[in-house]
């Protein structure tokens, strides 16, 4: 029998607001345990939550960008369960009136077809703390720093039919969230995590099979592996005449396999009810219009603009538009007078190479656009050789070096001394009669060698164009 | 002169006039508490050293000519469920016996800012769940009018401390009558403000949508003075609203033309005859002061108690979940894993009534029962509010008994929780509708126990009910009859 995968996502996104969702504590990642806490986020008796408006606006922006309906009277509910990382023993979340419903994202299937993945809802909630096992004392310790960090949970309909679609969806979602500036979306720090609801059914069927929920994937690659592995496991289960058990499973990336965590019979009753400590949030037209007006340009609009205004190639646009940070760098360079094509080339070749070498995500790039623009300007004016320009960029990339000071210190500025160039060419021709002879008998390959010798004599400080011209002329004689 | 029987406003005036100092008043309170609290047991935590330091500070500022407000220098107490740094807030529970709040409640902050000297915590039913102050882990509080009787509850400690003239006033909290009923049973004045008028930040929650902090004092004027200090929108409590202020200045004794509604349902079967007589006499007194008194039918009355217990217990089951033995409070010894650590800590740390209400609340929120109980109770709550809205279209205030009886004997009601719950019949609707209400002494029953009347106002009619109660007190002396002597 031919089987079909049916998959839906629950994507948890940590927002990058400065403070937590219900108190004034910082949301900064890390920090010594229990230093980013207060009576509210540690659930002290008598403490009360107060909603951070920025969290609502971030959720509104996301909803607007994804074509959702914004719920005008949105409410919070309590999700009750006991766990040591949840100090109040309930999570303030949204069940009955989530802030966004509907909307969706268009993905491309393996066959290259466009397909619309529908969202069910987006809701706001607070994150829980972290448990740390201390093997030394054989005890488990609680770190509440993450308690109350604002989350958005983006829930899709079960519209995915392949891991490819899921990854394309997540890539586009992440890009949108980054362009909106509502989340850093760093998987390693857990600021975007996706849980999967996976089931299989006979291909083309319309009834949903029993699903399992998969947690604990910490990369897109792990998500793709988890989907394929779980679909195969379910198919094997069904084909051997057994039933799929509705359960939550935990993905183990090292073992490349998943393990059952809890089954439906042990499923928790969360006893949701409206959060009495927070009045409903009314989103009026004025507020909605204000947020709509503050939406930044998103990837799709940038693609069009980069094509029509900057005249970049589809290939370059494709790479640039995956990263809000790279787009910002490009636009800053262009604003500083760099020619768009040249700016794109520098980003895609040099900047990305440096990121890769440093093991740095492009999103974390700390490069000052003004410095790079200055380097490109010097290069274009013939005051730097391309090699020197690269060297200067490396210095800027590594420790934000001052470009002019660095060039001065290293003596990288091109010297326009026609006499020196002519003398160098003369000497190279004199010292390498064999190579000259080869060239004159038609071996073009030695030309590069001769240029290199000239540049070496000039200690790299001449404009290669000048050297080229002088060498060609001398060889032609 | 001995000021222990004075009102808070009288004490503050005497301080301002240089007749007495704040430290002297604190010393007098200390002497009185040491004298009588052994038999009353109203106080659970006291810090005289801190109180004296504070009193001296306030006195120094007053001596420098600083205007610190109308209650500056007055000693008072707060209920055991209101957080104040340096004072363990146990909520009358083994669970929180050693809990030292790391922050001050907004109401405490405001009182201290106005120069009040908070000397300690008062006893209460465990987590404010009860009507007798007998379920406290600290032991039962006794009624100063008759030590064999309960002071009512859950703010029984606050009511008894005021009634025994240990202190002129205290804060309590009222979820279903927990300020008003003990005030009535102890012959003092208790005021529950409009929901949202006073910040709940720092009040250890029982039922968040019903809880409200309020004063218990000798008279309505003291209640108004305290309300003026503690009310107001608070950045730490999203349910607070801008509320009316200047309650004390609004007490002009004039209630001529005040329209008073008397709901027939509140005088039906089950009401003690003496209580009925005293409250009806109260109506006559108000009439004599120029008010127009009229009987009417309120409706929805019999649904209030069940709806209240469903909603309050549902919220309580969630609010009290944080007491899990992990972060603070009681932790069971030698638990083998996390589940047994939590369940044993909770089983051992909570008393019987608290466990009963947590179980009830957990049940009504459970999947499959939520709509039948919780959602239906919410609808009842809305209908009760509507019934009051309709009444307040015709009346400025509603007059009723505070409770169907006077104070019960110690041990009398614990055996029959249902009977105890029915004792809340006149008070719970007020919380469900979020209204302001004041109870005040209006006479005595055949055994000499105080009877309390209740005046309920429309939302934000805080000033109106206080003005009416104050007018009654200007014309009567029941509130002046204190247990200030030997006990």
Supply the pLDDT for residue A452.
87
A95 touches chain B (CB under 8 A): no
- Which DSSP category does B373 fall into? I
Give pLDDT tens digits for B73-126: 999 999 999 999 999 999 999 999 989 999 999 999 999 999 999 999 999 999
The span from the first CA to the last CA of chain B, in angstroms, equals: 20
Q: What is the pLDDT of residue A1?
A: 80
Determine the 3-state secondary structure of B172 from DSSP: strand
pLDDT digits (tens, 9 = 90+) for A89-125: 999 999 999 999 999 999 999 999 999 999 999 999 9
Judged by CB atoms closer than 8 Å, whether chains meet at B207 and A276 is answered as yes
What is the mean pLDDT of the segment spanning B318-336?
94
The answer on pLDDT for B267 being more than 70 is: yes
Contacts with A84 from chain B: Cβ below 8 Å:
324, 326, 338
Question: Per the CB < 8 Å rule, is A278 touching B204?
Answer: no
Rounded CA-CA distance A342/A324 in Å is 19
Per-residue pLDDT tens digits for B64-75: 999 999 999 999
Chain B interface includes A382 (CB < 8 A): no
The residue to which tokens 């505070």 are assigned: B402
**Which of B105, B200, B366 shows the shortest C-beta gap to A271?**
B366
pLDDT digits (tens, 9 = 90+) for B351-362: 999 999 999 999
Residue ranges of chain B whose CB lies within 8 Å of a chain A CB: 81-83, 89, 91, 96, 99, 101-103, 105, 200-205, 207-209, 235-239, 314-315, 317-318, 321-324, 326-328, 338, 342, 362, 365-367, 370, 374
**Is pLDDT of A418 > 80?**
no
**Local confidence band at A265 (pLDDT 50, 70, 90 cut-offs):** low
Q: Average pLDDT of B14-21?
A: 97
pLDDT at A132: 92
Two tokens, residue A1: 């029998």
Could you say which of A45, A47, A273 has the minimum Cβ distance to residue B314?
A273
Bridge partner residues of B441 (DSSP): B452
Q: What is the pLDDT of residues B228-263, one digit of tens each?
A: 999 999 999 999 999 878 999 999 888 999 999 999
Q: Which of A50, A51, A84 lies closest to B338 in CB terms? A: A84
Query: Span B157-166, mean pLDDT?
Result: 98
Partners of B204 on chain A (C-beta within 8 Å) are 45-46
Whether B416 shows a pLDDT value over 90: the answer reads no
Return the minimum-mean-pLDDT range out of A257-266, A369-378, B131-140: A257-266
- Tell me what pLDDT residue A214 has: 96
Considering only CB atoms, which chain B residues are within 8 Å of A42?
327
Q: Which is higher by pLDDT, A273 or A187? A: A273
- What is the number of alpha carbons within 13 Å of residue A149 lying toward its C-beta? 26
Contacting residues of A for B81, CB less than 8 Å apart: 46
Q: Do A39 and B102 touch (CB under 8 A)?
A: yes
Least CA distance to A78: which residue of chain B?
Answer: B318
Look at residues B73, B157, B148 and name the one whose alpha carbon lies nearest to residue B121.
B157
Confidence of residue A266 (pLDDT cuts 50, 70, 90): low
To the nearest whole number, what is the mean pLDDT of chain A?
92
Instruction: Set out the domains of chain A in order of their start, with CATH numbers.
Output: 3-285 (no CATH), 297-410 (no CATH), 418-476 (1.10.10)
SS3 A1: coil
Q: Which of B127, B206, B310, B321 to mutate to test the interface with A (most CBs of A within 10 A)?
A: B321
Superfamily of domain covering B8-253:
Amidase signature (AS) domain (3.90.1300.10)
**pLDDT tens digits, residue range A131-179?**
999 888 888 999 999 999 999 999 999 999 999 999 999 999 998 999 9
Q: Is A90 part of the contact surface with chain B (CB cutoff 8 Å)?
A: yes
- N- to C-terminal Cα separation, chain A: 79
Contacts of A46 in chain B (CB under 8 A): 81-83, 89, 101, 105, 200-205
CA distance A36 to chain B (A): 15
Residues B239, A90: C-beta atoms closer than 8 Å = no
From the list A43, A48, A84, the residue facing B201 with the nearest CB is A48
Asked if A273 is an interface residue toward chain B (Cβ–Cβ < 8 A), one would say yes
State how far the Cα of B470 lies from the Cα of A213, in Å rounded to an integer: 64
| Least reliable range by pLDDT among A420-429, B202-211, B410-419 | B410-419
Mutate to test the interface with B, among A265, A271, A272 (most CBs of B within 10 A): A271
Least confident of A422-426, B6-10, B141-145: A422-426
DSSP characters over B182-216: HHHHHT-EEEEPPTTTB--TTBPPSSTTT-EEEEE
Question: CA dist B469 to A283, A375, B243, B253, Å?
Answer: 41, 82, 20, 9
Distance CA A147, CA A143 (A): 8
Domain ranges across chain B = 8-253
- Percentage of residues of chain B with pLDDT beyond 70: 100
Query: Which site among A273, A275, A278, A280 would you substitute to test the B interface, given the most B Cβ atoms closer than 10 Å to its Cβ?
Result: A273
CA distance B76 to B112: 10
Percent of chain B clearing pLDDT 90 (strictly above)? 92
Identify which of B313, B312, B320, B361 has the alpha carbon closest to the alpha carbon of residue B342: B320
Answer yes or no: is pLDDT of A188 > 80: no
The chain-wide mean pLDDT, for chain B, equals 96
What three-state secondary structure class fits A93?
strand
At CA B83, angle to CA B190 and CA A55, rounded to 5?
110
pLDDT per position as a tens digit, A279-308: 999 999 999 999 999 999 998 899 999 999
Report whether pLDDT(A213) > 80: yes
User: Tell me, what's the pLDDT at A450?
Assistant: 86
Residue B19 predicted with pLDDT over 80 = yes
Q: Which phi and psi (to 5°) does residue B87 adopt?
A: -130, 115
- CA distance linking residue B253 with residue B387, whole number of Å: 29
B56 pLDDT tier (thresholds 50, 70, 90): very high
Q: Angle, nearest 10°, between helix axes A369-380 and A386-399? A: 170
B99–A46 C-beta distance less than 8 A: no
Report, as an integer, the average pLDDT of B344-351.
97
**Higher-confidence position of B484 and B474:** B474
Using the Cβ of A44 and the Cβ atoms of chain B, whether some distance falls under 8 Å is answered with yes
Q: Which residues pair with B190 in a beta bridge?
A: B216, B439
| Predicted pLDDT of residue A264 | 66
The predicted model gives A69-93 an average pLDDT of 97
Q: If you count them, how many residues does chain A have?
A: 477
d(CA B172, CA B182): 10
Residues in chain B closer than 8 A to A282 (CB atoms): none
Residue of A nearest to B81 (CA): A46
The whole-number average pLDDT for the span B190-217 is 98
């Amino acid at each position: 029998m031919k089987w079909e995968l049916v998959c839906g996502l629950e994507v948890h996104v940590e927002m990058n607001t400065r403070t937590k969702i219900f108190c004034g504590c910082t949301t900064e990642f890390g920090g010594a345990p229990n230093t980013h806490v207060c009576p509210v986020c540690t659930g002290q008796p008598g403490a009360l939550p107060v909603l951070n408006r920025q969290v609502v606006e971030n959720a509104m922006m996301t909803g607007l960008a994804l074509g959702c309906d914004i719920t005008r009277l949105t409410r919070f509910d309590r999700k009750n369960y006991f766990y040591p990382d949840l100090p109040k023993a309930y999570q303030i979340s949204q069940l009955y009136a989530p802030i966004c419903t509907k909307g969706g994202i268009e993905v491309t299937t393996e066959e290259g077809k466009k397909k619309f993945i529908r969202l069910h809802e987006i809701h706001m909630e607070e994150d829980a703390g972290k448990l740390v096992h201390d093997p030394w004392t054989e005890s488990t310790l609680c770190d509440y720093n993450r308690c109350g960090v604002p989350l958005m949970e983006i829930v899709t309909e079960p519209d995915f039919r392949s891991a490819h679609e899921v990854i394309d969806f997540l890539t586009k979602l992440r890009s949108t969230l980054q362009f909106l500036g509502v989340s850093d979306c760093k998987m390693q720090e857990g600021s975007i995590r996706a849980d999967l609801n996976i089931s299989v059914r006979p291909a083309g069927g319309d009834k949903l099979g029993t699903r399992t929920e998969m947690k604990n994937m910490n990369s897109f690659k792990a998500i793709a592996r988890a989907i394929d592995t779980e679909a195969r496991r379910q198919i094997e289960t069904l084909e051997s005449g057994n039933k799929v058990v509705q359960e939550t499973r935990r993905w183990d990336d090292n073992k490349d396999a998943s393990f059952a965590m809890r089954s439906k019979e042990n499923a928790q009753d969360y006893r949701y009810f409206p959060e009495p400590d927070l009045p409903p949030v009314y989103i009026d037209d004025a507020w909605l219009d204000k947020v709509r007006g503050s939406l930044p340009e998103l990837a799709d609009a940038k693609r069009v603009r980069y094509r029509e205004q900057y005249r970049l190639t589809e290939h370059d646009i494709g790479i640039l538009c995956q990263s809000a940070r790279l787009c910002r760098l490009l636009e800053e360079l262009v604003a500083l007078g760099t020619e768009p094509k040249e700016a794109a080339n520098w980003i895609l070749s040099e900047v990305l190479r440096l990121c890769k070498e440093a093991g740095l995500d492009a999103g974390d790039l700390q490069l000052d656009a003004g410095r790079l623009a200055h380097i490109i300007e010097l290069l274009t004016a013939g005051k730097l050789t391309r090699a020197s320009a690269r060297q200067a960029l490396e210095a800027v990339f590594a420790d934000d070096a001052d470009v002019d000071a660095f060039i001065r210190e290293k003596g990288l500025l091109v010297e326009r001394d026609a006499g020196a160039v002519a003398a160098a060419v003369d000497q190279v021709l004199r010292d390498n009669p064999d190579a000259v002879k080869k060239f004159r008998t038609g071996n073009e390959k030695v030309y590069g060698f001769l240029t290199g010798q000239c540049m070496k004599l000039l200690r790299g400080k001449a404009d290669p164009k000048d050297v080229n011209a002088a060498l060609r002329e001398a060889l032609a004689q | 002169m001995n000021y222990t029987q004075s009102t808070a406003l009288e004490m503050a005036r005497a301080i301002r006039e240089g007749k007495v100092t704040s430290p002297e008043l604190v010393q007098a309170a200390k002497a009185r508490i040491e004298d009588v609290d052994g038999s009353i047991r109203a106080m659970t935590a006291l810090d005289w050293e801190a109180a004296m330091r504070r009193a001296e500070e306030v006195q120094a500022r007053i001596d420098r000519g600083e205007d610190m407000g109308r209650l500056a220098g007055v000693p008072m107490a707060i209920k055991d469920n209101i957080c104040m740094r340096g004072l363990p807030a146990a909520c009358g529970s083994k669970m929180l016996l050693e809990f030292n709040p790391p922050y001050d409640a907004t109401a405490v902050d405001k009182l201290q800012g106005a120069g009040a000297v908070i000397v300690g915590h008062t006893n209460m039913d465990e987590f404010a769940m009860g009507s007798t102050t007998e379920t406290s882990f600290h032991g039962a509080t006794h009624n100063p009018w008759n030590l064999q009787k309960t002071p009512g509850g859950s703010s029984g400690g606050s009511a008894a401390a005021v009634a025994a003239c240990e202190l002129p006033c205290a804060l309590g909290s009222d979820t279903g009558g927990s300020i008003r009923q003990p005030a009535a049973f102890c012959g003092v004045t208790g005021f529950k403000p409009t929901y949202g008028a006073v910040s709940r930040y720092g009040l250890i929650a029982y039922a968040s949508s019903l809880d409200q902090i309020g004063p218990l004092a000798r008279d309505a004027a003291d209640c108004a003075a305290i309300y003026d200090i503690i009310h107001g929108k608070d950045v730490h409590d999203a349910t607070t609203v801008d509320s009316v202020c200047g309650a004390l200045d609004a007490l002009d004794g004039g209630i001529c033309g005040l329209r008073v509604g008397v709901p027939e349902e509140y005088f039906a079967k089950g009401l003690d005859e003496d209580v009925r007589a005293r409250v009806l006499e109260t109506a006559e007194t108000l009439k004599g002061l120029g008010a127009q008194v009229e009987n009417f039918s309120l409706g929805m009355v019999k649904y209030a108690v069940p709806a209240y217990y469903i909603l309050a217990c549902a919220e309580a089951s969630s609010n009290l979940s944080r007491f899990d033995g992990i972060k603070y409070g009681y932790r069971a010894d030698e638990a083998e894993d996390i589940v047994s650590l939590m369940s044993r800590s909770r089983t051992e740390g909570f008393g019987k009534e608290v466990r009963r209400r947590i179980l009830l609340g957990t049940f009504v929120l459970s999947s499959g029962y939520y709509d039948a109980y919780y959602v239906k109770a919410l609808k009842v709550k809305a209908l009760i509010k509507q019934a009051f809205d309709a009444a307040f279209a015709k009346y400025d205030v509603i007059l009723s008994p505070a409770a169907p009886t006077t104070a019960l004997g110690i041990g009398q009601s614990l055996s029959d929780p249902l009977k105890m719950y029915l004792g809340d019949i006149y008070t719970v609707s007020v919380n469900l509708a979020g209204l302001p209400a004041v109870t005040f002494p209006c006479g005595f029953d055949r055994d000499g126990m105080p009877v309390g009347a209740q005046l309920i106002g429309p939302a934000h009619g805080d000033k109106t009910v206080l003005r009416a109660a104050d007018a009654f007190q200007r014309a009567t002396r029941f509130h002046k009859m204190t247990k200030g002597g030997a006990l």
